[in-house]
Amino acid sequence: MNKFEKFNNEIKTYFRSEVVTNLSPSTSHRSRCEFSYYDNHYAMHGPNKKLLLKSFPSAASCIKKVMPRLIKEINNSSELNERLFQINFRSNKDNKVMVTLIYHKKINESLIALINNLSKKYDLLLIARSKNFVYSTNQMYLDNLIDGYINYQTDNCFYQPNKFLLEMMIEKVSEMVINPKDLLEIYCGVGTFTLSLSKIFSKVFATENNRSAIKCLKKAMNENQIHNIMHARLSAEEVCDAFHGKKFFRLNEIDINSLDISHVLVDPPRSGLTYEVIDLIKNFKNIIYISCNPETYLRDIKKLKNHKLKNVEIFDQFPNTEHLEIVSLLEAS
């Protein structure tokens, strides 16, 4: 039984219609890749050993193009490879590549000069990190045009990785919205969904605990001249506390009680929703739940006893793996 059949069988208890599956090309789909550096190779951690790589078929074409060239440069320079332990890649629709080299040593002027040369030679946005230090050859942000909006990411915040399915997911979420008023979004990240949904809802209250992600959202709001998004750097549990009356300076005087929330959107990590978040969102009529883990997703919707699953689609963001992305709408019965 493959992962699609497995999920379809498990979801039947809650959703009797056929689940639409959106497939991805099996290669060149990942615009975000992270590797260890080990024994002159890119390395990934398999079940029992490290997997040593020169290239990575799943990586976006522009990343695959630079990977062998970069590893050759690193291996040929003792200063570049000394105490280097991680190499991360990100790319955008314009095939601009951001590379982060992470070191267990102090980054000195000599190393910075080598990094600047690499950046110019291969046209890379190159970042070097070590403990309490970061250096960028250009800027800290990688921009991307998604659904007509410029959004931003840094090298240390979450960003949806599948370049082929991201806009399809945004379109699906937008289609699920009927009779919108105000939106509460928990785990908003850099605002990948927030920006597009701002044109549908009267007001959006977007929350996220990651500092870099909130900075990206603010930058995107300014660049796109969006004025109906309110945001706060709050964890999901702090959002729950705020709705129960706790005061937070980080709310920036936002009056959450003035919101007329018709929909709540949650896009949690693989661990799923906490009890506190479920206890909060069950009070709203419409819940858009995006999940990267079918196991915790099924656990959570079982707890939302007063809501019915009205729509669900699968997005195969990680082909050739057991992972699935789920986009769904639950409505209070």
**128 and 189, same structural domain?**
no
Q: Is 143 marked as a binding-site residue?
A: no
Q: Is 208 marked as a binding-site residue?
A: yes
**195 and 122, same structural domain?**
no
Residue 151 included in any domain: no
**Model confidence at 207, in pLDDT bands (50, 70, 90)?**
very high
- Lowest mean pLDDT: which of 1-5, 149-153, 181-185, 240-244? 1-5
Secondary structure in 3-state letters for the chain:
CCHHHHHHHHHCCCCCCCCEEECCCCCCCECEEEEEEECCEEEEECCCCEEEECCCCCECHHHHHHHHHHHHHHHCCHHHHCCEEEEEEEECCCCCEEEEEEECCCCCHHHHHHHHHHHHHHCEEEEEEECCEEEECCCCCEEEEECCEEEEECCCCCCCCECCCHHHHHHHHHHHCCCCCEEEEECCCCCCCHHHHCCCCCEEEEEECCHHHHHHHHHHHHHHCCCCEEEEECCHHHHHHHHCCCCCHHHCCCCHHHCCEEEEEECCCCCCCCHHHHHHHCCCCEEEEEECCHHHHHHHHHHCCCEEEEEEEEECCCCCCCCCEEEEEEEEC
Count CB atoms within 10 A of the CB of residue 287. Answer: 25
Q: Across residues 229-241, what is the average pLDDT?
A: 97
Residue 146 included in any domain: no
Q: How many domains does the chain have?
A: 2
Q: Across residues 126-153, what is the average pLDDT?
A: 97
The residue type of 297 is Y
**215 and 109, same structural domain?**
no
Which tens digit of pLDDT belongs to each residue from 303-333?
A: 999 999 999 999 999 998 999 999 999 999 8
* CATH code for the domain in which residue 323 is found: 3.40.50.150
Q: Across residues 52-68, what is the average pLDDT?
A: 96
Q: Is 11 a residue whose pLDDT tops 80? A: yes
**261 and 183, same structural domain?**
yes
Q: Is 54 a residue whose pLDDT tops 90? A: no
Q: 58 with 29: CB under 8 angstroms?
A: yes
Last residue of a domain, one of 123, 140, 157: 140
Q: Which domain holds residue 229?
A: 3-24+165-332
* CATH code for the domain in which residue 45 is found: 2.40.50.1070
Residue 128 included in any domain: yes
Q: Is 294 a residue whose pLDDT tops 80? A: yes
Q: Across residues 248-276, what is the average pLDDT?
A: 95
**270 and 204, same structural domain?**
yes
**231 and 105, same structural domain?**
no
**177 and 325, same structural domain?**
yes
Q: Is 276 marked as a binding-site residue?
A: no
**19 and 36, same structural domain?**
no
**243 and 199, same structural domain?**
yes
**316 and 179, same structural domain?**
yes
Find how far residue 213's CA is from the centre of its chain: 9
**Model confidence at 47, in pLDDT bands (50, 70, 90)?**
confident
Show which residues are catalytic: 292
Nearest in space to 328 (alpha carbons), one of 159, 198, 307: 307
**Model confidence at 273, in pLDDT bands (50, 70, 90)?**
very high
Q: Across residues 25-34, what is the average pLDDT?
A: 97
**223 and 96, same structural domain?**
no
Residue 85 included in any domain: yes
Residue 80 included in any domain: yes
Q: Is 1 a residue whose pLDDT tops 80? A: no
Q: Across residues 181-187, what is the average pLDDT?
A: 98
**Model confidence at 279, in pLDDT bands (50, 70, 90)?**
very high
**324 and 212, same structural domain?**
yes
Last residue of a domain, one of 75, 107, 140: 140
Residue 238 included in any domain: yes
Residues 290-329 as b or e (16 or more Cβ within 10 Å = b): bbbbbebbbebbeebeebebbbbbbbbbbbeeeebbbbbb
Residue 308 included in any domain: yes
